[in-house]
Amino acid sequence: MTAAANADVAALSFEKALDELEKIVGRLERGDVPLEESIAIYERGEALKARCGQLLAEAEARIERITLSADGKPTGTAPLDPE
Alpha-carbon span 79 to 65, nearest angstrom: 6
Asked whether 52 and 21 are in contact (CB, 8 A), the reply is: yes
pLDDT in tens, 26-72: 999 999 999 999 999 999 999 999 999 999 988 877 777 777 788 88
In angstroms, the CA 17 to CA 1 distance is 16
pTM of the predicted protein model: 0.72
pLDDT at 4: 59
Q: Which residue has the higher pLDDT, 51 or 4?
A: 51
In whole angstroms, what is the distance from residue 48 CA to residue 31 CA? Answer: 20
CA-to-CA distance for 46 and 58, rounded, in angstroms?
18
Instruction: Delimit the domains of the chain by residue range.
Output: 10-71
Pick the CATH number of 10-71 from 1.10.10, 1.20.1530, 3.40.50, 1.10.287: 1.10.287
